[in-house]
Amino acid sequence: MASHFAMASMKIACSTQRPAPLAGRRRPAVPAARTVVAESAAVAPETLERESGIVGAALQAEKQGWQETVRTLQGRRKHRFWEPALRNPPPLLADVCVVLVSPKRPISVGTVARSLSCFECEDLRIVEPRCDHLARSSRNGSKGAQWLLWKAAQHASLAEALADVDLVVACTRWVAGRPNAFRSISELLAHPQVAAQLAAPAESSSSSTDAPSSSSSSSSGSTDGGGLQQPAARRPKLAFVFGREVEGLLPAEVDACDFTLSIPIGRLQESMSLSHAVSVVLSRLFEQRQQASGHALPQGVADLAAGWEDSGVER
């Protein structure tokens, strides 16, 4: 009986004992290479901060200056109530439109609108939308290009959206076996029709629609021998058609276009996102037109207001 009590007391004592502290134990030695890496990792942030402090402050000041200038130009109004107007020169891609076929996600339309705004393209058309392109997620994704969302035209069919377009390019991943198919943007830009249109400089501000009626009638057209006013020649319109986020363009929709363009990408993805594809195409077009027109790109805060004014549109 006594042995049972002794064994029980031993179990209780063992269960209440704590492990010996590790203070007396020696930690294994760290290899010299690991020690050097640890010391350099600890010093690197401080050194980087000290060496790049002046440069970082200058970049931050420049960024704040740009933001403050944009807010001043906008009259510090909310993006919903702001619409810019580029006058001299007008938007470099004023003769280019982007057509979205049945977009499903509002954020896709919003980010596309931001891409258009970055490259001075103001013509956004939406065919049979499956979403509200003015939803909050779309407006948030536009980042200052909400005015393009408000101006975007909705169409019931692709034919209706392309009624006033002279040259149509379908952007799709799959172009094998199709006539007039280009596997790179460089090939498309080298085509005589596209090259000739992009080589033409932006129209002068004398033909802007807000000019007085008397002066605009004299500058926007010519007169024949009888003194009758002849309308100015309409500038050709170039359209880029982008398909649905998942399904892309249908074969019949691609067949309705003049050319087919496939943006070259690597082997790890099947296709690009909608806004990225729009950005890639517009970036190349903008660069081509900018070089042809000789228009200087903004290099600093003072250049932001060049040729810009508030349209005065209130919603």
Q: What average pLDDT score do residues 183-192 get?
A: 94
The tens digit of pLDDT for each residue in 225-245 reads 555 555 556 678 999 999 999
Phi, psi for residue 210 in degrees, rounded to 5: -95, 5
- Cβ atoms within 10 Å of 240's Cβ, excluding its own: 25
Burial of 276 (0-12, 13-18, 19+ CB in 10 A): middle
Terminal Cα distance for the chain, rounded:
95
- Cβ atoms within 10 Å of 139's Cβ, excluding its own: 21
**Six token digits for residue 167:** 């040259």
Query: Residue 124: which H helix or E strand, with range?
Result: strand 123-127
Q: Using H for helix, E for strand and C for coil, what is the string for 219-263?
A: HCEEECCCCCEEECCCCCCEEEEECECCCECCHHHHHCCCEEECC
**Six token digits for residue 187:** 């090939």
**Cα–Cα distance between 37 and 39 in angstroms, integer?**
5
In a domain, 213, yes or no: no
By residue count, the chain amounts to: 315
pLDDT over 90 at 111, yes or no: yes
254 neighbors 160 (Cβ within 8 angstroms): no
In a domain, 167, yes or no: yes
In a domain, 192, yes or no: yes
Residue with tokens 């087919």, as numbered in its chain = 260
Residue with tokens 């050709």, as numbered in its chain = 236
**Six token digits for residue 154:** 């909705």
Q: What average pLDDT score do residues 222-226 get?
A: 51
The tens digit of pLDDT for each residue in 249-278 reads 999 999 999 999 999 999 898 889 999 999
CA 307 to centroid of chain Cα atoms: 22
216-to-56, 79, 210, 258, 272 alpha-carbon distances in Å: 49, 31, 9, 34, 44
Query: What single DSSP character describes residue 117?
Result: H
Strand ranges (E), 264-315? 308-310
Collapsing DSSP states into helix, strand and coil, what is residue 52?
Answer: coil
In a domain, 35, yes or no: no
pLDDT over 90 at 296, yes or no: no
Instruction: Check residue 208 and give its pLDDT.
Output: 38
pLDDT over 90 at 128, yes or no: yes
The tens digit of pLDDT for each residue in 29-88 reads 555 544 444 444 455 566 656 556 666 677 777 666 666 655 555 554 555 556 777 777
Q: Residue 189 sits in which domain range?
A: 92-204+234-295
Instruction: Check residue 212 and give its pLDDT.
Output: 35
- Cβ atoms within 10 Å of 256's Cβ, excluding its own: 16
Residue with tokens 């980010």, as numbered in its chain = 111
Q: Using 50, 70 and 90 to split pLDDT, how confident is the model at 297?
A: confident
In a domain, 276, yes or no: yes
In a domain, 116, yes or no: yes
In a domain, 155, yes or no: yes
The tens digit of pLDDT for each residue in 79-96 reads 555 677 777 778 899 999
In a domain, 244, yes or no: yes
Q: What is the pTM of this model?
A: 0.69
Average pLDDT, the chain: 76
Instruction: Check residue 20 and give its pLDDT.
Output: 56
CATH code (residue 126):
3.40.1280.10
Count the domains in the chain: 1
